Chains A and B, each alone.
Chain A
Amino acid sequence: MQGNEACVEGALAAGCMLFAGYPITPATEVSEIMARRLPRVGGIYVQGEDELASLGMILGASAAGWKGMTATSGNGICLMQEEIGYAAMTEIPCVIVDAQRAGPGTGIATKSMQGDVYQVRYGSNGDYSIIALAPSSPQETFDLTIEAFNLAEMYRTPVFLLSDEIVAHMRERVIIPEPEKIKVVERRKTEVPPAEFVPFRVETPDGVPPMPSIGDGYALPISSFARTDTGRPVTDFKNQDRLVQRLWNKVEKHADSIARIEVEGLEDARVAVVSYGSVARAADEAVRNMRSQGKPVASVRLITLWPFPDERIREVGRHVKTILFPEMNMGKMVREVERTAGKHAEVFSFPKPGVDMHTPAEIEQAVMRILE
């Protein structure tokens, strides 16, 4: 099964009811397969007139109680940025698939790049937090799409499934478990009756307010104005500070429980190769080869990009002397590694600006130069 198809199957397993998207390479298969598959489970597929309409519809449906997803590539994310900030501010769950392609601009539609890692995190105005997951295979695309829906509901935030052209079009075996074996998180509505309900009051330690739907009788004041807990627009520092801190911290303070990394061979390593997404496939193979020859190399794969797993990467830095970060961009996530592990280990970026992925041989050569 293709990565994009696995994404659709994951969304269906997670309970997606509305998909709205605008065709764009290399994400188009998600739309096409959704158009066929979603109505069979009683859901609705809409082809939006553009990316703004698509995400707007998803947010409208989500506020009214449906799980929704859109899929696009980096150019579409550019267009969606205002709505991404809106979703973060109004705390409307949604899943946004970004099958990254080579940029900037129109770039190369049919070739891969990992160029969108900052724009999904920091692209909209103001300060907020989102979650981004980076699959390395069709199987992981299936698994992480389900997790994306679950995290969106748990944290009331936009969640990005950040694949790339290579993973999106890669074909591999995907095992889809029986529905009862799949963990699906449903939205936490409130127990409070409408008369006593305060729309954005946090009732739990996770900092996430409960979320009734439009039409449930809760007189919801949904707006992306800075607000009090009652939804009243305000302009003072105290409320702004409290609100922005909460929107930031509800994800960032849970980075350790949200963020996942995969580590191989750290105990005896002098060099760690950190990677994510499609490049991790080459990095894994390179590290396996070198370890079979007894070289002290470890592989660290970021499964979650945002929130960044600060503590775990700092720990990696404490174990090794050097970190190599092959990345299909001019060196972006590597800055997060420098920020966290850079105090303990020397960090080298190995950038490639899209189209050609790093080969295992190239990564091996780079590691060998470091070891020598």
Chain B
Amino acid sequence: MSTNSKGPAKKIEHPVLKHFRDDSPGTPHLWCAGCGVGQVWHYTTRAIEELGLDEDKVLWVGGSGCTGRMCTYWHKDFFHTLHGRALSFATGAKLARPELTVLVHSGDGECVAIGGNHLIHAARRNVDLNLIAINNFNYGMTGGQFSPTTPINANTATTPYGNREAPFDLTTLMREAGATYIARWTTVHFRQVINAIKKGIQNKGFSYIEILAQCPTQYGRRNKLGGAVEMMEWLKALSVTKENAEKMSPEELKGKFVIGELFSATKPEFSEYMRSIAAEASK
């Protein structure tokens, strides 16, 4: 932004601010410098804008943790629920008001550790929810403890001798569980993430969109991965496109993340088939 002789400078507003809640806590938000969560906030609002959705019918749901707090900044209806329970509350809201577009943002700790049971069952039922899962390999909010997606040998606040627990591949888990749209990208993939969220919203069923994200403050610091930019380079190096992965051996794929649109299918949707039971029974 610069001033010129023709008049005062035009104030440039960040494109997400028009979606930001006026009285949200913190200035302007609680995420650390360089955190990937803010990027995903941006991508989500871009997807909503590009689809031209009626924002009064777009419900943001979250639980606890850095990612769980995303919903609390959305300027329309938000449902900031309990740690791990976001998908259950979201399912209830969707059953009562099927016209809602329901977006659930959940971190790796929340959606697969404390909320793991609800995760697999929401996918199995194929509820028309969109789970945007931010995987930054640790619990950031509480100070960088290991999560079910922390890689083997990584250092975290609670694995001072290195992590020995095998991490989950959530995209595989979601496919087995019954999700009908599955994509994985990183925070680097601006356009791809927006498109994946749009496709997830358009999918009539459970959509799982995983975004590998940098957490420079906790995971990056403890594993000497550098700042946000270095970590985003690291994420790029860790990820392999679906097309390239098909040409690689399991040995070569070890420790890598396959990215892309990984799966889509058509199956009956939960709120629709539950309503069809009611329609038949009440005849």
**Which A residues form the contact surface with B (CB < 8 A)?**
17-18, 20, 38-46, 48-50, 52-66, 68, 82-83, 86, 213-225, 230-234
Least CB separation from A212: chain B residue: B77
A232 and B95: CB pair below 8 A? no
* Bound CA span A361–B221, Å: 73
Contact assessment for B88 and A48 in the assembled complex, using a CB-CB cutoff below 8 Å: yes
Contacts of A41 in B (CB 8 A): 282
Q: Known contacts being A44-B274, A44-B278, A53-B117, is A64 close to B92, with CB within 8 Å?
A: yes
Is B80 a contact of A49 with CB atoms below 8 Å?
Answer: no
Residue of B nearest to A215 (CB): B97
Identify B57's interface contact among A20, A45, A82, A215, CB under 8 A.
A215
A47 to chain B, nearest CB (A): 10
- Report the Cα distance A62→B79, complex, angstroms: 12
**Interface size of B by Cβ–Cβ distance < 8 Å?**
41
Give the complex CA separation of A223 and B72 in angstroms: 8
Given that A46-B274, A56-B81 are contacting pairs, would A61 and B25 also be in contact in the complex, using a CB cutoff of 8 Å? no
Within 8 A of A (CB), among B71-99: 72, 75-82, 84-85, 88-97, 99
* Most chain A beta-carbon contacts within 10 A, residue among B75, B85, B280: B85
Contact A61 B78 (CB under 8 A): no
Instruction: Select B89's contact among A50, A56, A66, A234, beta carbons within 8 Å.
Output: A56
Considering the complex, give the chain A residue whose CB is closest to the CB of B78.
A221
> Is there an interface contact between B282 and A42, defined as CB atoms closer than 8 Å?
yes
Whether A56 touches B78, Cβ cut-off 8 Å, given contacts A40-B282, A61-B92, A214-B93, is no
Does B59 belong to the interface (CB within 8 Å)? yes
B99 — which chain A residues lie within 8 A by C-beta?
215
Interface residues of B (CB under 8 A from A): 21, 23-25, 56-57, 59, 72, 75-82, 84-85, 88-97, 99-100, 117-118, 121, 274-275, 277-282
Is A56 touching B88 in the complex (CB atoms < 8 A)? yes
Q: Say yes or no: A60 contacts B93, CB within 8 Å.
A: yes
A230 CA to B22 CA in the complex, in Å?
11
Q: Are A57 and B91 in contact (CB under 8 A)?
A: yes
Contact of A64 among B56, B97, B274 (CB under 8 A): B97
Does A214 lie within 8 Å of B82, measured CB to CB?
A: no
List 7 interface pairs A-B (beta carbons < 8 Å), by A numbering.
A42-B279, A53-B117, A56-B85, A56-B89, A82-B82, A218-B77, A221-B78
Chain B residue contacts of A56, Cβ below 8 A = 81-82, 85, 88-89, 91-92, 118
Q: Is the CB of B25 within 8 A of A233?
A: yes
Q: How far is the CA of A224 from the CA of B23 in the complex (A)?
A: 16
By a CB distance below 8 angstroms, the chain B residues around A216 are 56
Contact A18 B23 (CB under 8 A): no
Which of B75, B80, B121 lies at the interface centre, i.e. has the most chain A CB atoms within 10 A of its CB?
Answer: B80
> With A and B bound together, what is the CA distance between A57 and B72 in angstroms?
20
Shortest CB–CB separation between residue B218 and chain A, in angstroms? Answer: 22
The reply to whether B85 and A58 contact each other, CB–CB distance below 8 Å, is no
Q: Is the CB of B82 within 8 A of A62?
A: no
B80 to chain A: which residues have CB within 8 Å? Answer: 221-225
Neighbouring B residues of A55 by C-beta, 8 Å: 88
CA of A82 to CA of B72 in the docked complex: distance in angstroms?
20
Report Cα–Cα, A39/B278, bound state, in Å.
4
Least Cβ–Cβ distance between A224 and chain B, in angstroms: 7
Closest to B26 in A: A233
Q: Which residues of B contact A221 (CB under 8 A)?
A: 21, 72, 78, 80
> Known contacts A86-B82, A219-B75: does B117 contact A50 (CB below 8 Å)?
yes
Asked whether A44 lies within 8 Å of B88 as measured between CB atoms, the reply is no
> Contact between B92 and A83 (Cβ–Cβ < 8 Å)?
no
Are B117 and A57 interface neighbours, CB within 8 A? no
Are A214 and B97 in contact, with the CB atoms below 8 A?
yes
Q: What are the residues of chain A within 8 A of B275 when measuring CB–CB?
A: 44
Quick check: A219 and B85 within 8 Å, CB to CB?
no
The residue that A60 contacts in the complex, of B75, B89, B277, with Cβ under 8 A, is B89
Instruction: Check B97–A65 contact: CB distance below 8 A.
Output: yes
Q: How far is the CA of A237 from the CA of B82 in the complex (A)?
A: 23
Residues in B neighbouring A86, C-beta threshold 8 A: 81-82
Q: How far is A20 from B99 in the complex, measured between Cα atoms in Å? A: 21
Please report the C-alpha to C-alpha distance between residue A63 and residue B100 in the assembled complex, in whole angstroms: 13
Q: Given A86-B82, A215-B56, A233-B25, A52 and B97 touching (CB < 8 A)?
A: no
Per the bound structure, the CA–CA distance linking A231 and B71 in Å amounts to 13
A53 pairs with B118, CB closer than 8 A: yes
Tell whether, in the assembled complex, residue B92 and residue A60 are in contact, meaning their CB atoms are under 8 Å apart. yes
Q: CB-nearest residue of chain B relative to A231?
A: B23
Nearest CB in chain B: distance from A8 CB, A:
14
**Given A39-B278, A83-B85; A214-B79 close (CB under 8 Å):** yes
Q: Shortest CB–CB separation between residue A211 and chain B, in angstroms?
A: 13
Distance A219 CA – B22 CA, assembled complex (angstroms): 11
Are B79's CB and A52's CB within 8 A? no
Contact A223–B78 (Cβ < 8 Å): yes
| Chain A positions within 8 Å of B90 at CB level | 60
The CA of A223 and the CA of B99, in the complex, are separated in Å by 22
CA distance A38 to B282 in the complex (A): 9
- Which one of B57, B75, B76, B88 has the greatest number of beta carbons of chain A within 10 Å? B88
Asked if B88 and A220 sit within 8 Å, CB to CB, the answer is no
Q: Contact check: which of A40, A52, A63, A223 meets B85 at CB < 8 Å?
A: A52
Question: Contact between B278 and A43 (Cβ–Cβ < 8 Å)?
Answer: yes
Q: Which residues of A contact B77 (CB under 8 A)?
A: 214-215, 218-220, 222
Q: Is the CB of B92 within 8 A of A18?
A: yes
Beyond the given pairs A60-B92, A64-B100, 15 more chain A to chain B contacts, judged by CB atoms under 8 angstroms and listed by A's residue number, are A17-B96, A40-B282, A46-B95, A52-B118, A54-B88, A56-B81, A57-B91, A60-B89, A60-B90, A62-B92, A63-B79, A215-B77, A219-B21, A219-B75, A223-B72
| Chain A residue, CB-CB nearest to B124 | A49
Question: Does A215 contact B59, Cβ atoms closer than 8 Å?
Answer: yes
Residue of B78, B82, B95, B96 most packed against chain A (CB within 10 A): B96
